[in-house]
Structure 1
Amino acid sequence: MLIEVDEKIFGQYFYDDPHPFNTKAFVELNKAKAEKIIRLVEDTEKPEIGLLAGIHKGKLLSPFSAPFGGFHFKKENMYSHKIDTFMLSFKEYLLSQNYKDCNLTLPPDIYHQTFNAKCVSALNRAGFISKTPEITSWIDLQEVQDKYKQKNSREYYRQAQRNKLVFEQVQSQLDREEAYRLICQNRAKFNRPIYMSLDDLQQIENLWPVDFFKVSNPDGEMLASAIFYRWKHQVVYAVFWGDNEKGRPLRAMDFLLLNLWQFYKQHNYRYVDLGISTEDGIPNSGLLRFKETHEAVSSLRYRFALINSL
């Protein structure tokens, strides 16, 4: 049986968050986007699994305003039967509360692969509907060298070097504004929405570091930019990136990405989470191929639903 607990008690049970979008501070920042925040735990003396979710329009959502949500847990190598029991109790809770639907997106495996595998198995066997998974991509920084593995990408990077491009981390507010504006223009060109304002990003800086980067030509003109989150568990998250019309023929993106991978490797991070290259499970072939030819590995980000038919 699962019970709802308040924020303080939940924090006492689960003091080490599994990823940035399940933290108390992040949920607090976004709580207005849900009608109610709930925290579910097992009705035992020492709960080992919990779920933080939002309720909106009669649906239980995890996440309710983030790329992914999922579960809190005490340890990754938990016995599978304990996860099975929690998922069956979770299903009973959803049906008893008569929520119209439940939508759950698990994090990529780079955050907790072992626990994820057992969750996917348990959710399927408990009768949750497995929606088409998203394809997500990530960089293993231990594998990054001083050049790309893919032949064309190596040549494009050499072209960027011949064009005397410059990579640097952005420091000034004016440069940050320009970097963000360049990304907005890039996304508009490809009909891709942008869901966060510059002010939103600056509010996130109260929670964890937000890095801005740029690539410029020898005259100092910005040709490409990127914005990344740093998370304590050896993972950085790619929020936005893009180039402009001047940067594209000069290979600004090829130059930007390898420099980013090397930058974070030097700062002792292990992975770069590049996010999904799909929309509702359908691949964006060009974007996916671009990531993979710039050192990325692709894997699945699982999604589940439970429609209440009562």
Structure 2
Amino acid sequence: MGIEVRTDILPPPQHEGDIFNTMAFFGLYKKPGSVFLLLYRDGGYAGHVHFTDIAPHVFKSPYRGTYGGFEFAEGTPPDVAKECIEAACSYLQQQHGARKIIITTAPFAHSVHRSSWHYHLYMNCGFAVQGQEINHALVVDDTPILEKMMRNNRKRYNKCQREGFGFVQVTEPEQFADIYNVIHANRDARGYTVSMTLEQIMDLYRVFPQRLFFFKVTGGEGDAASAICIRLSSSVLYVFYWGHTPGFEQYSPVAYLAGGIYDFARQQGYSLIDAGTSSLDGVPNFGLAAFKENLGFTASLKLTYSKTYE
């Protein structure tokens, strides 16, 4: 019977999916030209995807968020997934005049099996790799993080511990500004900006109160470091922002912060911590990559695909 593309209903209840592919996240940032497509085969839900026009006749998934693309119902076989991709692309072309479709997908570390199939299917649906980034992630298992860190970071972690530093999860919303301000001061001191304002972070928290986490490392005369993390899925915790307070460089408290986040992830049943990309527009930031790898993170690819219609 083929694939039916619908825009008039909500996704059915299902297992927890990636936050960036949820209707709630889409609703936060949609604009005229945004479309959420529900894909059905033989009357049964098969998957969904959302797109936004970012230029005349150019549609991208996601508009906001670090990745998007197709999310399929559990157990959807690859041949049906391929039909869904083709049907959604045809819908965009015929109903919205799409001449180019761009999809950024999750890093391979999230699921090598899923990412490998997606790569194969996109290639067979006429897509090409438009861009590639290097992404860093840390497997969460029974091995203590100190055994995964390089020697210098183990020394920094132990120094913070000897000095009486503490790791704290902050749960009171009125204290979230303190977490954010540490990150903002860290970025400002290094000549960088923060991609989201505190108000935008709070808007995200109000929609996803169970999926945003705020942490800090206390020590000395105040907060030494902080982090904002996001539950991307039931298995992946994302370090959205982290950094230390200017003046705490001698302690390098992010190593201690990473240890606390790792222990939190173990306790909550995550299997992976994603620390984000270490490149921008395909250009590697070797210093940032080394920083993450010294903490125990390893690299995988994160791809952007595109398809152009003549």
The correspondence of residues 85-96 of structure 1 with structure 2, limited to 5 A, is 85-96=83-94
Distance across 2 between alignment mates of 1:174 and 1:301: 35
Distance across 1 between alignment mates of 2:142 and 2:301: 20
Q: Deviations over 1:27-62 (max 9, x none)?
A: 112223x53323152564335243222233332111
- The answer on whether the counterparts of 2:186 and 2:243 sit within 8 Å (CA) in structure 1 is yes
User: Structure 1 residues 285 and 143, CA, compared in 2 at 3 Å: closer, same or farther?
Assistant: farther
Provide the residue aligned with 1:254 in structure 2.
255
Distance across 2 between alignment mates of 1:241 and 1:279: 18
Provide the residue aligned with 2:61 in structure 1.
62
Displacement of 1:232 in angstroms is 5.1
User: Structure 1 residues 7 and 269, CA, compared in 2 at 3 Å: closer, same or farther?
Assistant: farther
Provide the residue aligned with 1:288 in structure 2.
289
> Structure 2 counterpart of 1:215, which letter?
V
Distance across 2 between alignment mates of 1:163 and 1:282: 38
- The answer on whether the counterparts of 1:257 and 1:294 sit within 8 Å (CA) in structure 2 is yes
Q: The residue matched to 1:66 in structure 2 has which SS?
A: coil
User: Structure 1 residues 40 and 269, CA, compared in 2 at 3 Å: closer, same or farther?
Assistant: closer
Q: Which runs of 5+ in 1 are unaligned?
A: none
Provide the residue aligned with 1:130 in structure 2.
129
Distance across 1 between alignment mates of 2:197 and 2:143: 32
- The answer on whether the counterparts of 1:135 and 1:300 sit within 8 Å (CA) in structure 2 is yes
> Structure 2 counterpart of 1:212, which letter?
F
- The answer on whether the counterparts of 1:136 and 1:299 sit within 8 Å (CA) in structure 2 is yes
Distance across 1 between alignment mates of 2:296 and 2:124: 35
> Structure 1 counterpart of 2:256, which letter?
F
- The answer on whether the counterparts of 1:137 and 1:298 sit within 8 Å (CA) in structure 2 is yes
Displacement of 1:306 in angstroms is 1.5
Q: Which runs of 5+ in 2 are unaligned?
A: none
Provide the residue aligned with 1:190 in structure 2.
190
Which of 170-179 and 192-201 deviates more? 170-179
Provide the residue aligned with 2:201 in structure 1.
201
Provide the residue aligned with 2:229 in structure 1.
228
User: Structure 1 residues 28 and 90, CA, compared in 2 at 3 Å: closer, same or farther?
Assistant: closer
Distance across 1 between alignment mates of 2:307 and 2:15: 28
2:134 is aligned with 1:151: no
Counterpart of 1:218 (choices 220, 225, 234) is 220
Displacement of 1:130 in angstroms is 0.5
Q: Percent identity?
A: 22
Q: Deviations over 1:256-277 (max 9, x none)?
A: 1112111221222222121111
Distance across 2 between alignment mates of 1:94 and 1:232: 27
Q: How much is the aligned-residue C-alpha RMSD, in angstroms? A: 2.4
Displacement of 1:279 in angstroms is 0.5
Q: Deviations over 1:93-117 (max 9, x none)?
A: 4444431321101112454442321
TM-score scaled by structure 1?
0.87
TM-score scaled by structure 2?
0.87
Distance across 2 between alignment mates of 1:89 and 1:197: 37
- The answer on whether the counterparts of 1:141 and 1:270 sit within 8 Å (CA) in structure 2 is yes
User: Structure 1 residues 140 and 94, CA, compared in 2 at 3 Å: closer, same or farther?
Assistant: same
- The answer on whether the counterparts of 2:7 and 2:38 sit within 8 Å (CA) in structure 1 is no
Provide the residue aligned with 1:53 in structure 2.
51
Which of 38-47 and 291-300 deviates more? 38-47
Q: The residue matched to 2:11 in structure 1 has which SS?
A: helix
User: Structure 1 residues 30 and 234, CA, compared in 2 at 3 Å: closer, same or farther?
Assistant: same
Q: Deviations over 1:80-134 (max 9, x none)?
A: 3333333344444444443132110111245444232111111113221202321
Distance across 2 between alignment mates of 1:255 and 1:152: 12
> Structure 2 counterpart of 1:184, which letter?
H
2:17 is aligned with 1:15: no
